[in-house]
């Protein structure tokens, strides 16, 4: 397998495939402008491979065949629970060899995502009703034409960010693995589903399914056919149940560092802004998890996906202690401990 870069800048390339131990992803290979690089030597033994390429410009679309990645060089076995293991979860494009034993991926401005694959298809949506869920048949004005009507079917677990009116259009947003999933009343989803979502508190972990209409950057525009609370409560490595909803509620607001450095956290729903001397240092979309790969079984943790500098990769903050107006965290990647006091 070879990659040729026909753009004017360097591209970083990763591949995915089903190896002896399961779905595996590898990267990154840096391919200079006008250059080609061999990623896999010899005859290719598998029927399907997957690739992802990143560059400052022009950038490429990627299909919804998800693998784990990270900023630095990696070989990752397994394509599930990426965030829990401290990785990103990102889309790859498919290569269907159809009997061939070699393949060249050509990177050029305007390249688009690959076609659907049978070998690693997106997860099928869950349509069966569950108590306390919200279902399309309760709200759709017309017939529901089933999964795949408006785009690629999906099922995800995500944190509910809330619903609001933007330019007189109501939208709801969900966060998962660094992606912003946005549901708009201008799309094919009936507005009644959007109104019904307001029964959930911001930060509630939900399982939702529908069709993914389009995605670009960190945003995916979706339809929603089924929404329900996540079935299983979060648990620490010790088996102790964790009150994630209570912790999310506690985190809301502005937290000022006790060391007088001018450092602070501003938390609004699932958005965290790191602030220093009134300047935003970083903006994260975050999720709460029982632990992360770097926390050595300790938890709960806040896993933040940086927006201003995505090359940093996900951050993992261990929630060490909470009090009525206090919060203590540890950045487990660099060992820095910070205590905060709630400030109005």
Residue 282: predicted pLDDT: 92
255 and 330 part of one domain: yes
Query: Is pLDDT of 277 > 70?
Result: yes
Query: Is pLDDT of 240 > 70?
Result: no
8 and 102 part of one domain: yes
- Whether residue 112 lies inside any domain: the answer is no
Residue 167: predicted pLDDT: 59
- Whether residue 123 lies inside any domain: the answer is no
Query: Is pLDDT of 288 > 90?
Result: no
Residue 115: predicted pLDDT: 32
Angle at 250 between CA 258 and CA 166, to 5 degrees: 110
- Whether residue 35 lies inside any domain: the answer is yes
Residue 111: predicted pLDDT: 47
Percent of the chain residues past pLDDT 90, beyond the cut: 25
Question: Which residues lie below 8 Å from residue 264, measured CB to CB, with a gap of 6+?
Answer: 254, 255, 256, 257, 274, 275, 276, 340, 343
Q: Total structural domains in the chain?
A: 3
Range of the domain at 185: 134-229
Residue 124: predicted pLDDT: 32
300 and 264 part of one domain: yes
- Out of 204, 229, 254, pick the residue that ends a domain: 229
- Given 3-state DSSP classes, what are the helix, strand and coil percentages for the chain, each rounded to the nearest 5? 10, 50, 45
142 and 201 part of one domain: yes
φ, ψ of residue 245 in degrees (nearest 5):
-65, -40
Residue 235: predicted pLDDT: 55
Percent of the chain residues past pLDDT 70, beyond the cut: 83
Q: Which residue has the higher pLDDT, 334 or 177?
A: 334
- Whether residue 173 lies inside any domain: the answer is yes
Average pLDDT in the 172-199 region?
81
180 and 259 part of one domain: no
Residue 49: predicted pLDDT: 93
- Whether residue 125 lies inside any domain: the answer is no
Average pLDDT in the 242-260 region?
85
220 and 305 part of one domain: no
Query: Is pLDDT of 143 > 60?
Result: no
pTM above 0.75, yes or no: no
- Whether residue 129 lies inside any domain: the answer is no
12 and 84 part of one domain: yes
Residue 139: predicted pLDDT: 44
152 and 207 part of one domain: yes
Domain with residue 261: its CATH number is 2.40.128
Dist CA 212 CA 155 (whole Å): 10
In terms of average pLDDT, the best of 228-242, 268-282, 298-312 is 268-282
Average pLDDT in the 113-125 region?
36
Provide the pLDDT confidence category of residue 326 given band limits of 50, 70 and 90. very high
Domain with residue 182: its CATH number is 2.40.50.140
- Whether residue 34 lies inside any domain: the answer is yes
- Out of 57, 72, 107, pick the residue that ends a domain: 107
Mean pLDDT across the chain, nearest whole number?
80
Provide the pLDDT confidence category of residue 296 given band limits of 50, 70 and 90. confident
262 and 170 part of one domain: no
Provide the pLDDT confidence category of residue 321 given band limits of 50, 70 and 90. very high
Residue 291 gets which letter from DSSP? -
- Distances in Å between the alpha carbon of 250 and those of 11, 86, 204, 270? 42, 24, 13, 12
Query: Is pLDDT of 136 > 60?
Result: no
Dist CA 295 CA 314 (whole Å): 13
53 and 96 part of one domain: yes
Q: Which residue has the higher pLDDT, 25 or 228?
A: 25
Query: Is pLDDT of 224 > 60?
Result: yes
Residue 339: predicted pLDDT: 96
Query: Is pLDDT of 234 > 80?
Result: no
List the beta bridge partners of residue 179. 176
71 and 16 part of one domain: yes
CB atoms near residue 83 (< 10 Å): 22
Dist CA 40 CA 228 (whole Å): 43
Provide the pLDDT confidence category of residue 222 given band limits of 50, 70 and 90. very high
225 and 258 part of one domain: no
- Tokens at residue 275, please? 């602030």
Q: Which residue has the higher pLDDT, 126 or 109?
A: 109
- Whether residue 120 lies inside any domain: the answer is no
- Tokens at residue 301, please? 């943790």
Query: Is pLDDT of 183 > 70?
Result: yes
């Amino acid at each position: 397998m070879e990659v040729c870069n026909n753009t004017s800048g360097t591209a970083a390339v990763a591949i995915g495939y089903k190896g002896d131990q399961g779905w595996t992803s590898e990267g990154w290979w840096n391919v200079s402008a006008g250059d080609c690089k061999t990623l896999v030597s010899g005859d290719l033994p598998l029927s399907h491979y997957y690739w992802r390429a990143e560059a400052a410009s022009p950038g490429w679309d990627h299909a919804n065949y998800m693998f784990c990645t990270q900023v630095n060089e990696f070989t990752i076995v397994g394509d599930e629970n990426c965030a829990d293991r401290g990785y990103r979860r990102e889309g790859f494009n498919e290569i269907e060899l159809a009997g061939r034993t070699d393949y060249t991926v050509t990177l050029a401005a305007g390249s688009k995502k690959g076609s659907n694959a049978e070998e690693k298809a997106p997860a099928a949506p869950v349509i069966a009703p569950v108590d306390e869920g919200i279902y399309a048949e309760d709200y759709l004005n017309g017939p529901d034409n089933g999964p795949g009507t408006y785009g690629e079917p999906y099922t995800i677990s995500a944190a509910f960010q809330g619903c609001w009116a933007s330019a007189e259009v109501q939208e709801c947003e969900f966060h998962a693995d660094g992606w912003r999933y946005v549901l708009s009343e201008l799309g094919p989803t009936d507005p009644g589903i959007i109104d019904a979502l307001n029964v959930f508190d911001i930060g509630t972990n939900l399982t939702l399914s529908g069709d993914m209409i389009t995605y670009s950057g960190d945003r995916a525009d979706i339809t929603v056919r089924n929404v329900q609370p996540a079935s299983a409560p979060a648990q620490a490595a010790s088996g102790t149940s964790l009150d994630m909803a209570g912790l999310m509620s506690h985190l809301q607001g502005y937290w000022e560092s006790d060391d007088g450095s001018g450092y602070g956290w501003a938390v609004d729903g699932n958005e965290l802004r790191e602030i220093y001397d009134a300047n935003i240092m970083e903006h994260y979309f975050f999720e709460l998890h029982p632990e992360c790969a770097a926390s050595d079984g300790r938890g709960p943790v806040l896993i933040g996906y940086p927006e201003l500098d995505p090359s940093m990769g996900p951050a993992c903050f261990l929630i060490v202690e909470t009090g009525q107006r206090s919060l203590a965290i540890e950045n487990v990647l660099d060992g820095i401990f910070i205590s905060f006091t709630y400030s109005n």
